[in-house]
Structure 1
């Protein structure tokens, strides 16, 4: 199996979607598939930017698209030329897409690929897949781990001008309609796409979850009960992922039970969250421990009693936070503060591994925390929340088998 994998988020950069893509390619390599990756250098927020383990084994197959930044005039000319080359889409990232397409054509001249895969975190790689498939006849699978740009829900909604909205809708329709197959990480997200673009009901679409890291890379630690009830949330919090309800719940539990607990946030403080810490007088309880490389973070997560997942308040929880897979692989009970009708809540209710509580109801969060604290106090926390079934759902063999099914259905193999 020979795969051309195109994305703007990949190793050595290790921020959310980059990790999802890198873990997937590692698993595909383990399967014995031959892969080339086209990506870009990422100067944004990252936990790591070096080719450390386990990503160093991906370095030889990764091609970063390079082109001169140029002055304002040069950039404008290149953007116009790129837009014309890529079907006249004058949108963000089109310059990278045009240069990625040129690189992809060169790679295709030297190797016969079985399939092209274009991946999130941006919608822009899909135009490369469309043009390349059209030119070469190679089957093309587009992956959408998040909503397309025009269908993000509140509170994340982008407010585009009517002109830009029309352009982006035309772009999304072109990419979705011409993909040989489409993947989403969860049915909840796929349902939003199908509601917006009704023609997708007749397309080959599959829900394939995010993948766990290959077993054996992260050393598994035996659970040891912490001296005080300890929780950790991996990743920065924000106005969208608002922690106020859990902070309020923690404050009341401490006051009512006269207990100590520790809530660490693996990330950095911002003014919004710091104001909430002050509002609920949690300076001695909530700690910001900074960011770590992915492998370090996976080890650190195992030092806690409970791992907390906080999602934005949504009418319908369409997202699949990739940290759910990392938490499951860390083998620690999960407290999901999530939309009750969303992917995370449904998954934990079906596969186990923790508790899902309504993120709009602080009393439910408080009850969930109290239940977990009591189990911790009685030394039954780890045994009562078995994560085996949840981990198996995301393990590499399970997810790669689903890709094999997809390739068979789309006549790739």
Structure 2
């Protein structure tokens, strides 16, 4: 049986989408004669915790741990709230205090590629013995944080092991890089490290075709796309909401703020009394202040229910019983290749997806080809409003459904089968 070492920062009890990708791969790799061994930090700084995910770790999986020295502990001395937000990726560019600007500058310019850089050297020293002891042939590093790829880079130099990098998100082209107040020297350092990792790795995995095309301009190394996906959820059957619920599951960070959608919903409430009576907007996860301000500005406060952070199990339940599922991405060129992990769980729930995102958003093709909903760009208020009204009319007739949905190729086991073939070495 082939042994594979997976180096990841996010692992249960970490919550959020970042942990689920490799948790699910680990769950199914044994079905393809591959034994996964996992390496994680001993004392991580997880901005979101979901204890329920620990129940999904397969029995008997070896998990090695090593202490990590993270600077967030020091930063919390100045501002616990701001430090947690930055760690979670919440960077609000409006009304930044001097302290917040300082923390961002420090994060962007003193910790390259990221704040987990101090885990690199101790991990390399520790894992050399693990690789020899376990007779491991392949190492996989998954980022962000992209400092984990530098662990793989050094292990390859020292041990000549086969090394695969997995990019859940892009590196230098990701949107929040512009908010980190990077100096030109820091920007160049990121690009150098990105180029080095992409050209030293034996193989590369990405989650979107957009990232594959971007990386193919940097390296000739093999690149394959393995998206995120959905898993079979045991759980009891659920009953659809009585109300016309439109639910967004997951954080709505700064920038994910489709004013056209809030305006369309406001107009529907004003124009159709029955819509006003039945409509409910449900938001689960962290919601940035500017998004809430916009929602309330359009008179939707009394129709909005804030669920806060919910467990993954609860998220699946809400997805299955909501009438419509909302998917929102920042309107920018950099985000057209971002495919949120939850989109596949949305698809598996067989509830109509309403997407709002950038022009040429890759998610739009996925949703269209799978017959699971419709996506619009930010200015398309007329078309978006018509779709909502059509779905509402179908809801009133108890006919709002997706009879032609095709989602099986995105099941986690099917994706793991694809991964297992990519792990084969000639």
Tell me the TM-score range normalised by the shorter chain. 0.7 to 0.9
Gaps of 5+ in 2: 75-110
- Contact map agreement 2:207 2:225 (CA 8 A) in 1: yes
**Cα separation, partners in 2 of 1:226 and 1:354, compared to 1, 3 Å:** same
- Contact map agreement 2:253 2:287 (CA 8 A) in 1: no
Task: Confirm whether residue 301 of structure 1 aligns to residue 319 of structure 2.
Answer: yes
CA distance in 1, matches of 2:400, 2:177: 34
Secondary structure of the structure 1 residue equivalent to 2:333 = coil
Secondary structure of the structure 1 residue equivalent to 2:182 = coil
Q: Deviations over 1:85-107 (max 9, x none)?
A: xxxx9653221111221221121
CA distance in 1, matches of 2:156, 2:413: 28
- Contact map agreement 2:149 2:197 (CA 8 A) in 1: yes
From 46, 49, 52, the equivalent of 2:48 is 46
Gaps of 5+ in 1: 73-88
**Cα separation, partners in 2 of 1:291 and 1:47, compared to 1, 3 Å:** farther
**Cα separation, partners in 2 of 1:135 and 1:330, compared to 1, 3 Å:** same
What is the Cα deviation at residue 166 of structure 1? 2.0
Secondary structure of the structure 2 residue equivalent to 1:10 = coil
**Cα separation, partners in 2 of 1:212 and 1:383, compared to 1, 3 Å:** closer
Task: Confirm whether residue 129 of structure 1 aligns to residue 152 of structure 2.
Answer: yes
Task: Confirm whether residue 405 of structure 1 aligns to residue 424 of structure 2.
Answer: no
Task: Confirm whether residue 37 of structure 1 aligns to residue 38 of structure 2.
Answer: yes
From 215, 219, 222, the equivalent of 2:235 is 219
CA distance in 1, matches of 2:383, 2:301: 23
CA distance in 2, matches of 1:158, 1:68: 21
**Cα separation, partners in 2 of 1:173 and 1:102, compared to 1, 3 Å:** same
**Cα separation, partners in 2 of 1:156 and 1:329, compared to 1, 3 Å:** farther
Q: TM-score when scaled to structure 2?
A: 0.83
From 124, 138, 141, the equivalent of 1:118 is 141
Counterpart in 2 of 1:322? 341
CA distance in 2, matches of 1:130, 1:54: 30
What is the Cα deviation at residue 357 of structure 1? 1.7
Give runs of aligned pairs for residues 6-405 of structure 1, distance below 5 A: 6-40=7-41, 41-49=43-51, 52-55=54-57, 57=58, 60-67=61-68, 91-92=113-114, 93-148=116-171, 150-153=172-175, 158-195=180-217, 197=218, 200=219, 202-213=220-231, 215=232, 217-219=233-235, 221=237, 224-258=239-273, 259=275, 260-315=278-333, 317-384=336-403, 386-387=404-405, 389-390=406-407, 392-405=408-421
CA distance in 1, matches of 2:53, 2:298: 41
Q: Deviations over 1:197-243 (max 9, x none)?
A: 2xx2x221101111322x2x432625x44322111101121222114
- Contact map agreement 1:2 1:112 (CA 8 A) in 2: yes
CA distance in 1, matches of 2:69, 2:168: 30
**Cα separation, partners in 2 of 1:380 and 1:51, compared to 1, 3 Å:** closer
- Contact map agreement 2:3 2:138 (CA 8 A) in 1: yes
- Contact map agreement 2:216 2:223 (CA 8 A) in 1: no
- The size of the alignment, in residue pairs, is 382
What is the Cα deviation at residue 52 of structure 1? 3.6
Secondary structure of the structure 1 residue equivalent to 2:305 = strand
What is the Cα deviation at residue 313 of structure 1? 0.5
CA distance in 2, matches of 1:185, 1:232: 24
- Contact map agreement 1:359 1:365 (CA 8 A) in 2: no
Q: In angstroms, what is the RMSD of aligned CA positions?
A: 2.5
What is the Cα deviation at residue 275 of structure 1? 1.4
CA distance in 2, matches of 1:231, 1:137: 51
What is the Cα deviation at residue 276 of structure 1? 1.5
Secondary structure of the structure 2 residue equivalent to 1:302 = helix
203-212 vs 159-168, which deviates more? Answer: 159-168
- Contact map agreement 1:116 1:138 (CA 8 A) in 2: yes
What is the Cα deviation at residue 33 of structure 1? 2.4
CA distance in 2, matches of 1:10, 1:268: 20
Q: Deviations over 1:150-206 (max 9, x none)?
A: 2224796544212112222221111100110011111022222234x2xx2x22110
What is the Cα deviation at residue 68 of structure 1? 6.4
CA distance in 1, matches of 2:286, 2:410: 28
